[in-house]
């Protein structure tokens, strides 16, 4: 601004004008600095959204990471265990690794793959290389459903290089139980399906009075089975199956889960039209608060086992 004033100035009048403008600017700078206005005006001091939320003693954090179109959730247990469910698509792998590094993570205690579609495992080889996990869970698949994709091969290679074995994720397995916290698989069961989505590992996380349900891409046939099996479905937070597609989150299932909040993990303007309008309407009619990674970026639910809060405006692991 000062430079432009000087450049425009010509002759004696202009020189005086420039001098006054200069004095004015110096005074303005002094006033703003001394009154704290400087902090509000200076772009350098604009408070950046904090990446890692401080974790109070006894708190569980559940992060729904914005990785574009796909799924990735990160759980930090009250005892400090780091668990990752899915790793988004291939293009998000490096950004997800940086995001996790920014969280101060050096190693993951547990990695869960819900099912080996690219939008869930594309970034997994990068994650496995950066954070060799203690345990790795994935559902076992019938021969006809085993992917031939490059990202699947790369994930298997990374597991091999780490010396990681694949532990089968299936209904009834409880990978973690400690101090009021329990993580269990509700699916897959023994059913056979045409769609790989329905082999998704469904995860239920309980801490104190609070429950979280992660559906992967499980569709209505799985929801119906879970209802028929009388699986413990009630959850405060439902990570909707299949990115809010109308293949999932059937009315009967939603009633049984009875969540206060639903999270939809999908990319902005994705080619599948996720989430489907029908599902948004269904959630609204059930008075469920909707959180979306495509419109709100990364989200974090925090609970001490009693109270539950959602944090938004958190940096994404992916920018379109």
- Binding residues (CB under 5 A) for Zn ion: these are 119, 217
Q: Whole-number minimum distance, CB 193 to Zn ion, in Å?
A: 15
Q: Whole-number minimum distance, CB 43 to Zn ion, in Å?
A: 38
Q: Whole-number minimum distance, CB 119 to Zn ion, in Å?
A: 4
Q: How many CA atoms lie within 13 A of 210 on its CB side?
A: 19
Measured in whole angstroms, the distance separating CA 58 from the mean position of its chain's CA atoms is 21
109 versus 217: smaller Cβ distance to Zn ion:
217
Query: Which residues, 6+ apart, have CB-to-CB distance to 273 below 8 Å?
Result: none
How far apart CA 10 and CA 197 sit, in angstroms, is 73
262 versus 308: smaller Cβ distance to Zn ion:
262
217 versus 225: smaller Cβ distance to Zn ion:
217
DSSP state of 157: H
119 versus 219: smaller Cβ distance to Zn ion:
119
Q: Whole-number minimum distance, CB 211 to Zn ion, in Å?
A: 22
217 versus 219: smaller Cβ distance to Zn ion:
217
- Look at residues 94, 100, 175 and name the one whose alpha carbon lies nearest to residue 135: 175
Q: Whole-number minimum distance, CB 85 to Zn ion, in Å?
A: 12
Query: Which residues, 6+ apart, have CB-to-CB distance to 249 below 8 Å?
Result: 223, 238, 240, 241, 262, 279, 282, 283
């Amino acid at each position: 601004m000062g430079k432009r004033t000087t450049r425009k100035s010509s002759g004696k009048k202009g020189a005086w004008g420039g001098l006054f403008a200069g004095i004015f600017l110096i005074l303005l700078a002094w006033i703003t600095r001394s009154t704290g206005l400087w902090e509000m005006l200076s772009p350098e001091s604009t408070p950046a959204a904090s990446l890692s939320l401080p974790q109070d003693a006894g708190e569980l954090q559940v992060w729904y990471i914005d990785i574009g179109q796909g799924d990735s959730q990160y759980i930090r247990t009250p005892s400090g265990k780091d668990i990752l469910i899915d790793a988004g698509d291939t293009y998000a792998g490096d950004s997800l690794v940086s995001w996790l590094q920014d969280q101060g993570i050096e190693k993951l205690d547990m990695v869960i793959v819900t099912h080996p579609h690219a939008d869930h495992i594309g970034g997994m080889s990068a994650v496995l290389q950066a954070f060799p996990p203690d345990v790795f869970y994935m559902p076992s698949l019938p021969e006809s459903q085993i992917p031939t994709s490059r990202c699947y091969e790369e994930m298997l290679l990374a597991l091999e290089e780490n010396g990681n074995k694949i532990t089968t994720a299936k209904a009834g397995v409880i990978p973690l139980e400690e101090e009021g916290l329990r993580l269990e698989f509700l699916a897959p069961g023994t059913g056979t399906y045409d769609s790989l989505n329905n082999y998704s590992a469904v995860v239920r996380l309980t801490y104190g009075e609070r429950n979280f349900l992660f559906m992967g891409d499980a569709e209505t046939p799985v929801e119906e089975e879970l209802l028929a099996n009388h699986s413990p479905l009630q959850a405060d937070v439902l990570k909707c199956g299949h990115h809010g597609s109308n293949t999932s989150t059937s009315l009967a299932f939603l009633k049984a889960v009875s969540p206060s909040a639903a999270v939809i993990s999908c990319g902005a303007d994705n080619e599948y039209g996720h989430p489907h309008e029908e599902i948004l309407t269904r959630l609204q009619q059930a008075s469920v608060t909707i959180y979306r990674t495509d419109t709100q970026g990364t989200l974090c639910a925090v609970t001490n086992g009693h109270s539950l809060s959602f944090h938004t405006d958190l940096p994404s692991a992916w920018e379109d």
